[in-house]
Structure 1
């Protein structure tokens, strides 16, 4: 499958790890088909307990907003349907994958795509960037943005824009015209010092 057709997703959560009992509170995702956003998915979800002030302040999601949201299980069942048959992308994908796996496991659901991490890829392609946070990279690559980071749909849209810029940069540096998803996964695990030589050979 090519890397231009993927689902880019982002979770907002009660904390850093489902292993510590943290839960998802929002999922946002965009479906890219041949590099064009064709569908969006965004829902708040009630984790079944109050969130703390830090998370409210960080995300702008309040306990009041969550009190009228559907339970996590209902939202995740809908999201499982949305992502079937597609590979998945997230910025710092290990974080989002942990929450996706945890929430789907609770409802005995699964998915059939593979993950790629735009953060790992950016560390290899943009070694001169000040850091590899999403907001920093959006500025570094002059990507147009006009919303608030740390909300799931906006972050997934910005990650999708960054993803397409990175694919374009790979195509500019190589003779590859339709970047396969498997190539991205390979690049993301490669030592940084080997990247330029590897791309030059493609």
Structure 2
């Protein structure tokens, strides 16, 4: 009998992940070459996951330059199938967050489909949430948001764990905005997903209804 994994639906208890890949689309044969993830429980980092993975072919010089991940580095890495099987275990029982989540979800779904694995959580997108909670910001690219919010970082971008680290910090900033601006102290994950899908002009009204001003 299979055990039932109960999801923690608190928005501050999630796994924040980021992929580096050989290109933009698994449908065009692109594969993951690195996965990085941060596990948050009650807003605190309790675990990390980071692995390079060999896609089975050489990556382009553009990807080497963009990510800093070289073919020499990938030559000694475990295969995508081995790493993604480990990662599938890591994410069970957690909801998932990524910046521009549709990209990461496509690769997660494709890589797990290749090995017959799945996951039980849902995705939320910190980029979509940012566009609604921080509408004054000119750019919602991850690096620009890190600078705008003064998020501590080591200056490394386009490496999976570094990007997951700052995305996790951004996610906590967004939860802080909900508390400060709307009095919503402990949002659940479904609210964050709803925020990401709500028209920008309607977000404030929707959130004020949840927690009317005193």
TM-score by length of 2: 0.93
Q: Matched residues in 2 for 1:79 and 1:47: separation?
A: 15
**Structure 1 residue aligned with 2:10, among 2, 7, 25?**
2
The CA deviation string for residues 67-125 of structure 1, in whole angstroms up to 9 with x for no partner, is: 00000000000000000000000000000000000000000000000000000000111
**Structure 2 residue 79 is the aligned partner of structure 1 residue 71:** yes
Deviation of the 1:171 alpha carbon: 1.2
Distance 1:94 1:175 in 2: 29
In structure 2, the residue matched to 1:179 is 187
Q: Unmatched 5+ residue regions in structure 2?
A: 1-8
- Please name the residue that 2:176 is paired with: 168
Q: Which moved more, 1:66-75 or 1:146-155?
A: 146-155
1:87 aligns with 2:95: yes
**Aligned positions, number:** 202
Deviations 1:26-78 (A, max 9, x none): 00000000000100000000000000000000000000000000000000000
Q: 1:173: how far off? A: 1.7
Spell out structure 1 runs of 4+ moving beyond 6 A.
none
Secondary structure, counterpart of 1:182 in structure 2: helix
Given that residues 117 and 188 in structure 1 are in contact (C-alpha distance below 8 angstroms), is that contact kept between their aligned partners in structure 2?
Answer: yes
Contact 1:173 1:199 (C-alpha < 8 Å) held by counterparts: no
SS at match of 1:171: helix
Equivalence for 2:31:
23
> 1:140 maps to which residue?
148
1:24-63 equivalent positions in 2, closer than 5 A: 24-63=32-71
In structure 1, stretches of 5+ residues that fail to align are none
- Quote the residue 1:154 is aligned against: 162
Q: TM-score by structure 1 length?
A: 0.98
Question: Is 2:203 the counterpart of 1:195?
Answer: yes
How large is the RMSD of aligned CA atoms in angstroms?
A: 0.7
Tell me if 1:12 matches 2:17.
no
In structure 1, how many angstroms separate the alpha carbons of the residues matched to 2:183 and 2:62? 47
CA distance in 2, matches of 1:142, 1:44: 29
Are the equivalent residues in 2 in contact too, given 1:24–1:103 (CA < 8 A)? Answer: yes
Q: Is the contact made by 1:173 and 1:200 (CA closer than 8 Å) also made in structure 2?
A: no
